[in-house]
Structure 1
Amino acid sequence: MNPSPLPGPPDPADRPARLTVGVVGAGRVGSALAAALRQAGHRPVAASGVSDASVRRAAALLPGVPLVTPAEVLARADLVLLTVPDDALPGLVEGLADTGAIRPGQLLVHTSGRYGTAVLEPALRAGALPLALHPVMTFTGTSVDVQRLAGCSFGITAPQELRLAAEALVIEMGGDPEWIAEEARPLYHAALALGANHLVTLVAQSMELLRTAGVEAPDRMLGPLLGAALDNALRSGDGALTGPVARGDAGTVAAHVSELRKRAPQTVAGYLAMARTTADRALAHGLLKPELAEDLLGVLAEGDLR
């Protein structure tokens, strides 16, 4: 007699759905989070989005979920993701509250890094349960985003009585909840923008300069270097600083500024600002000798005057 086959992993479709989920703003973030909640056993039932990209994204990540108005999303869902740009969030919340679209007991979740739950105050007055869940991840608008949520940190802010609920939702999506106080949200978000968004700018500029210098595959050249630099920085902080600025090689830095001014003048201001910041940090941490710092800072000051 053949042995019975071992049971496979449970199918999320076979699990009882605990919450109906709606998305107001079917952008990259909202679609990915709703898809992750679906994998956890919840049931996306409605989304709003007007752009062609939103329609395509919802079809790919949330198949079968109808696109309706924001008010209709709230009417259908127990948990509503407000995934709109930061500047649009306050007006959206006020509008939904003023029109009576918000139901008492409804979980209202925004994903803005900038805001905590104070921006949801109009919804709170209407009886909603406010949560701020910000995934610390860059999104592509494809299914890979759902996979990247595994181990992704989420900056969470919520009323104390909802803290466990906020953490549970993040864990269900595969994320790692990190508590951020309401008053610390702007600083928290500035730190992430400084690290991630500015990193993209720096890397893109570096690749452009390498192409100008004749390098055929700048991404392949930079990959190992930047990977090692990032790993060292995460492990050692300022102790990982290397290069001509940290060494106090004023002549090399002057040559850089001169060449950039001739070949890529749009990069000079950024180079000088980052070099000055690097010099300050290297000096403060004892990596840059004071006698070398004077000449270096002189070169940087002279670069500003040209």
Structure 2
Amino acid sequence: MVSASRSGMKLGIGIISAGKVGAVLGAALARAGHTIVGVHAPSDESAERADVLLPGTPHRDVEDIVRTSELVILAVPDREIAGIVSGLAKLKAWQPGHVLVHTAGSMGSEVLAPAAAQGALGLAIHPAMTFTGTSLDLDRLVDCPFAVSGPATILPIAHALVTEIDGIPVEVPSEKRGLYHAALAHGGNHLVTVVAQAMRLLDDAGIPDPGAFLAPLAGASLDGALRSGESLLTGPIVRGDAGTVENHVRELADHPDILATYRAIAKATADRAVTRRIITPSTAKDMERALQCDDGRMMADGGEVTGE
């Protein structure tokens, strides 16, 4: 097996499997001059995606791909990685000099230990981007940050691969990958949930195009947060306006799933506002009572209903 450690070497790459991430990374590496020697596409959808993004690439089974590739991209769900790697190790499919890359964000290279024990070079490379599984993603990889983890002696390979497809490699210690991935899920996936909930409410309020209506505010808020953190935060919480918060709770009574999200995020916002000394602890308690009001009636400390 040819070593991949020499800078600029073009490799024979196998893709397991042709999901949104695997197919796009394969296409990007092919565009950088590498040869895609095989792709595993177990479903009709993944087979079609492979044919579009990796035209002419033979469809092969997993073991055949490993035995005929110099670099293997393991782009499968996180929960499947350990089983695939250990299963192939039992078949003695891994060879010294093999480069094995998994694309899961939540784990480091340790999950590749069975392959490393047979001489493979195991790396974790995770693009911090959401994928459509189409050619549109190729341009989005430019300047995209990639979390790279692995043994220091072979980490330059990860840097080289990411740089070749015009990404930005950022080293993340393997023991911090769980925290890193939680941050991305919270700041990316959960952001989608909140925006989608807001769009549902706007639709119920009669706004004809909720996405277009929300875009300027949401875009400015995200841009401000990315540039300045919490310093540009506005709204009733940081203004200490418990009455408006209570009214929101009343309006959201018919949307219990959204109300639960609103309450949790508003409470977190109030806590941060106290930490930053924007509101007082007393005002935060007013906010908490407003958030827990029942049918719009604020609860006093002793549990009596006020505002009737």
Q: What's the TM-score, normalizing by structure 1?
A: 0.92
Aligned to 1:226: 218
Residue pairs, 1:1-306, within 5 angstroms: 18-262=10-254, 264-302=255-293
State percent identity of aligned pairs: 49
> Which SS does the other structure have where 2:116 is aligned?
helix
Cα pair 2:249 2:293 within 8 Å, conserved: no
Give the Cα–Cα distance (whole angstroms) in 2 for the partners of residues 286 and 96 of structure 1: 56
Once the two structures are superposed, what CA deviation does each residue of 1:109-159 show, in whole Å capped at 9, x if it has no partner? 000001101000001001100010000000001001111100000000011
| Matched pairs, number | 290
**How many Å apart are 1:238 and its aligned residue?**
1.3
Q: What's the TM-score, normalizing by structure 2?
A: 0.91
Structure with more of its chain in helix, by fraction: 1
> Which SS does the other structure have where 1:133 is aligned?
strand
Once the two structures are superposed, what CA deviation does each residue of 1:176-218 show, in whole Å capped at 9, x if it has no partner? 0000011101001100100000011111111111000000011
**How many Å apart are 1:248 and its aligned residue?**
1.5
> Which SS does the other structure have where 1:178 is aligned?
strand
> Which SS does the other structure have where 2:143 is aligned?
coil
For 2:150, the aligned partner's letter is A
> Which SS does the other structure have where 2:114 is aligned?
helix
> Which SS does the other structure have where 1:134 is aligned?
strand
Give the Cα–Cα distance (whole angstroms) in 2 for the partners of residues 109 and 82 of structure 1: 6
Cα pair 1:238 1:282 within 8 Å, conserved: no
Cα pair 1:156 1:178 within 8 Å, conserved: yes
Cα pair 2:18 2:41 within 8 Å, conserved: yes
Give the Cα–Cα distance (whole angstroms) in 2 for the partners of residues 205 and 294 of structure 1: 26
Cα pair 2:246 2:293 within 8 Å, conserved: no
Give the Cα–Cα distance (whole angstroms) in 2 for the partners of residues 66 and 224 of structure 1: 46
Q: Structure 1: which 5+ runs fail to align? A: 1-15
Cα pair 1:154 1:177 within 8 Å, conserved: yes
Q: Structure 2: which 5+ runs fail to align? A: 1-7, 300-304
Aligned to 2:4: none
For 1:215, the aligned partner's letter is I
